[in-house]
Structure 1
């Protein structure tokens, strides 16, 4: 009896066994939560396995319901119920062992599961209000937007945008598609936040700049 599943990676090195909450409506939020926490991908780093087990162990509590074991074969590892999830880059890339007539469970709300995982974590490790953040294109950011930045302390903190530009040194390149489909390097003005200053100047440090095509901000009032 249970709602079982096994999570593994394409390498089939380890298997994470869930006795309960093995439906996709738990596993996908679990993977997303680990990704938002900045945990290493278990398909590439064993630390990722440890952190994913930590999240599920905190969620279940007690001494049962979750286990980890060396992976043998797909046939022997198949627990029934929800089968085996193959994950890579914190995404489900394959499913194994689904029986004829299998219906995907859709009982739990994705965002609510993220919050349930978060509440189960030690208070100092919770994402908290970061889970209320809104994802927007970097090109749509404005002065005053509070952008969530991932720090070298492995946590998220929000800082206001105070300007646009490029650092004086270590300029930040952006690749764009140019004529004839060729890629070209550019150095556009990028938003920077009030994080690490030098005599009140935040434009000097490249770590203050918002990188990538998308950013997470606090909801605008």
Structure 2
């Protein structure tokens, strides 16, 4: 009895066993939650396995329902129910389960058809359930209400969520200007008419975080990098 699944990576080194919440409608929010937390993925290094298990252990509670083991073969690792999730980064790249003959004898492994995926739990509800299970100081809280917008669409006064990789947490700061840091410009690659990439240095939004005598434009860590940003909902 259960709603089982195993999560592994393309290298098939380890497998995490879920006795409950093994449906795709739980696993995808789990992966997204780990990504939003800024955790390194299991396909990158062992920290990813540890942090994913931390989230699951907090969610399940108790001393059972969760396991991790050396991966052997797909046939041996399939726990039944929801089968196997192969993840790369924090994305599902392959779904597998045991194939049976007409007499229910296992005859190999087959891909999971999308129509077979469980679809009961709401994605956002599961994100919040994982978050509520975390220690208070590690919760994402209102960050989960954030809105993703193109960096080019960020406005003066928007409160942008910035990730502090040292502290491992998100904080929101108001946008107070646009420009480039002095002496340490931020390059952005764009498509050129020739079809190639070219490097430009556009004015980027910067936030009121690291201060220097009232000047926030000096520090490159105050600037919003990348194509997309997360902001607090505009009023």
Q: Could you report, residue by residue, the CA deviation over 1:99-123 in whole angstroms, capped at 9, with x for unpaired residues?
A: 5887211110000000000000000
Q: Which residue of 1 aligns with 2:13?
A: 13
Distance in 1 between residues matched to 2:123 and 2:196, nearest whole Å: 40
Which of 110, 117, 130 lines up with 1:117 in the alignment? Answer: 130
Residues 7-66 of structure 1 show CA distances to partners (whole Å, capped at 9, x for unaligned) of: 000000000000010000000000000000000110011000000000000000000100
Q: Which residue of 1 aligns with 2:151?
A: 138
Q: State how 1:166-177 maps to structure 2 within 5 Å.
A: 166-177=180-191
Distance 2:124 2:183 in 1: 40
* TM-score of the aligned structures, taking structure 1 as reference length: 0.98
Conserved 8 A contact 2:173-2:209 = yes
Alignment of 1:47-196 (within 5 A): 47-97=47-97, 103-151=116-164, 152-196=166-210
**What corresponds to 2:103 in structure 1?**
none
Once the two structures are TM-superposed, the CA of residue 179 in structure 1 deviates from its matched residue by 2.4
Q: Which blocks of at least 5 consecutive residues in structure 1 are unaligned? A: none
- Runs of 4+ residues over 4 Å off in structure 1: 98-102
Query: What RMSD, in angstroms, separates the aligned Cα atoms of the two structures?
Result: 1.1
Q: How many matched pairs?
A: 221
1:130 shift after superposition: 0.1
1:169 Cα deviation after fit:
1.7
- C-alpha spacing 1:49/1:173, structure 2 compared with 1 (3 Å): same
Q: Work out whether residues 82 and 98 of structure 1, in 8 Å CA contact, stay in contact via their aligned partners in 2.
A: no
Measure the CA separation in 2 of the matches of 1:200 and 1:128: 30
What is the distance in 2 between the residues matched to 1:20 and 1:180? Answer: 53
Distance 1:25 1:182 in 2: 40
